[in-house]
Amino acid sequence: MLDPLKLRVLRSVVETGSIRASAEALGYTPSAVSQHLTNLRRETGLELIERSGRGITVTAHARLIAAEAGPALDALRALERTVKDLRSGRTGTLRLGYATSIAATWIPELAQDVRRTYPDLGLELALRDCSCEDLAEAGMDIVVGEGTGPIESVDWEIHEILEEGYVALVSAGHPLAARSTIHLKDLAEESWVTDDPIDSFWFDRIGAACRAAGFSPCVDVNPNDFPTVLGFVATGDYVSVQPSVIAQNMRPDIVAIPLAPPAPRRRLRVQVRRTIARNPAAQHIVQRIHAVAAKRAAEIPGVTHLLETETRPRAQVRSTSPEPAQI
């Protein structure tokens, strides 16, 4: 059996592309990282890295092994957390998955509140660039994000919490920055930057609205994180279209301008596994998310708090979903 520690080191090297950077991230010395890689090469009989000048090149074999090892290492880490919870006397763990658009503005305060209110509860947080349905399949107990599937569900109690529009992000010195609203067609000649995958349903929603306005957006830069998007927008050479909520607390050199109708809109929801839906901690999380949604709706133009939660009766169909952690 391959050593999980060596696989973790390999995955870090694949991610960073550097032995020194991996050593700093893992808290090891570069020589220790190199030794782990050497031992793993002996165990597998495969070349994992190649020297390239003063640096290294990760081989295709190494990338494949790291990718295949990822789910196993994540499962092992989850098991280690369960053992830690049992040893510390915690009563259980809730797995909360959430979308990127609310990562910075919602989740930190929510996590702090839950941990203070339920100190004996283990709270496992997972940020994912995916829909509620994808998060659900990843084994989460509670999911906060954009739902693309139907409201009715056998296995989930679903609460729709917020509906929002989109905003155009431009630099403070951009010719459009003084506008109170903006039409998508005004961005037709601009260079775009977005962190959404171009083939994702998130960007396709925006792209469809642009096509309806008579153009296709010219995406020149497609980083995988929002701070980088802001960096490009701040130069004045690029614009971006983002959900209203993510534009909260924008940096001072960037202006968020609401898109005028017709413009795309989206809904955020909370999904709770029915097996834990009556648990006090789960109910507390839903209530707190509604409170945050109401606050954001009062602060951000074009955002509506959905007061009536959409909770559907359980259908008489046998569930096939994995069992969540019991609390």
Q: Looking at this protein, which amino acid is placed at residue 268?
A: L
Is residue 146 located within the same domain as residue 284?
A: yes
Tokens 């070349």 locate to: 47
Question: CA-based diameter of the chain, in Å?
Answer: 64
Is residue 101 located within the same domain as residue 184?
A: no
Predicted local distance difference test score (pLDDT) of residue 149 = 66
Q: Tell me: cis bond preceding 280? Omega within 30 of 0 counts.
A: no
Per DSSP, which regions of the chain are E strands?
49-52, 55-58, 92-99, 121-128, 142-146, 156-164, 166-171, 191-193, 218-221, 240-243, 254-258, 266-273, 304-305
Element (H, E) at 272: strand 266-273
Is residue 293 located within the same domain as residue 146?
A: yes
∠ at Cα 303 (235, 237), nearest 5°? 10
- Is 310 inside any structural domain? no
User: Can you give the CATH number for the domain in which 10 is found?
Assistant: 1.10.10.10
3-class SS of residue 257: strand
CA distance 235 to 201: 28
Is residue 179 located within the same domain as residue 252?
A: yes
pTM: 0.61
- Out of 28, 61, 82, pick the residue that ends a domain: 82
CA distance 75 to 73: 5
- The first and second tokens of residue 280, run together, are 């006090």
User: Can you give the CATH number for the domain in which 118 is found?
Assistant: 3.40.190.10
Is residue 223 located within the same domain as residue 277?
A: no
Count CB atoms within 10 A of the CB of residue 120. 13
- The first and second tokens of residue 27, run together, are 């808290």
8 A C-beta contact, residue 151 and residue 312: yes
CA distance 231 to 193: 10
Predicted local distance difference test score (pLDDT) of residue 7 = 92
**C-alpha distances out from residue 217 to 14, 181, 186, Å:** 33, 19, 11
Q: How many domains would you assign to the chain?
A: 3
- Out of 82, 104, 131, pick the residue that ends a domain: 82
Q: Which domain holds residue 193?
A: 166-258
- Out of 57, 82, 107, pick the residue that ends a domain: 82
User: Can you give the CATH number for the domain in which 237 is found?
Assistant: 3.40.190.290
pLDDT per residue as tens, the chain (327 positions) = 888 899 999 999 998 888 988 888 888 999 999 999 999 999 999 999 998 877 889 999 999 999 999 888 888 887 887 676 655 545 678 888 887 777 677 888 888 999 898 887 888 888 765 555 665 566 788 988 887 666 777 888 988 888 889 999 999 999 999 999 999 999 999 999 998 888 888 888 899 999 999 999 999 999 988 889 999 999 999 999 998 887 777 889 999 999 998 888 888 889 899 988 888 888 999 999 999 889 888 888 778 898 743 444 333 333 333 333 333
8 A C-beta contact, residue 245 and residue 145: no
